[in-house]
Amino acid sequence: MARTLLITGASSGIGAATARAAAAKGWNVALLARSADKLEALARDIGDAALALPCDVTDREQAAAAIDKAADHFGGLEAVFANAGKGVSKAGIEQGDPEEWHAMIHLNILAVLYTAHAAMPHLKKTKGHFVVTGSKAGRDHMKGSVYSATKWFVHGFGENLAEEMREWGGRATVIAPGMVDTPFFDTPQSGKIQPGDVANAVLFALEQPATSAVREIYLMPND
């Protein structure tokens, strides 16, 4: 029976690349994002192994409903990839925009917590795996960066969650890339990490034997 991977932020970039890579390796994929058109197009491309579930993962009830629907549709969840995230247009504290911080914190932090909270009962049944997108910015101190601070939270949360899941045979992994060539940036970053590179890291973590828990994968561009 095929395993199921649920992905947030699945409509483009890292999320879409991971969905395609996982499906190619025999996984079912549940696709969550706000962009219904993009999600449905991706699901059509992948085929019967994909389920499009448009929702706003910063809305706790929407996220929980989508996660439950995915588990019902596929008969369970073996893995979740909390990938949705965003940055801000104005860097620094003095020049930063508190409204942008508010939206970013809700997506980069609260949506990860909502996803984990709703997914845990399903993952507990399968001794499953929770993967979350961190960042090089979550390992470094960056002048005035609120985005970096949100990713520091993700890295700390990932380790804490891994300890909780370990009690019942589950695993958690933080994927921490440097600059990735995705729509996150306004201009193409062709010499940087590609979304498929990150997808390969996610699948590497998921496919480890039960005796091995990969807690973090740190990727940097090789240019």
User: Any idea which residues carry the catalytic annotation?
Assistant: 147
* Phi and psi angles of residue 85, each rounded to the nearest 5 degrees, phi first: -170, 170
Residue 50 CA: distances (Å) to CA of 9, 27, 45, 146, 199: 14, 9, 9, 35, 16
How far is residue 206 from each of residues 22, 57, 82, 97, measured CA to CA in Å? 10, 22, 14, 37
Cα(193)–Cα(214) distance, integer angstroms: 20
Distances (CA, A) of 166 to 31, 157, 163, 174: 26, 14, 5, 15
Query: Residues with Cβ < 8 Å from 86, sequence gap 6 or more?
Result: 103, 104, 107, 108, 184
Burial 117-134 (b: 16+ CB within 10 A, else e): ebbbebbeebebbbbbbb
Query: Which residues lie below 8 Å from residue 151, measured CB to CB, with a gap of 6+?
Result: 108, 134, 135, 137, 138
Give the Cα separation of 109 and 146 in Å (integer): 12
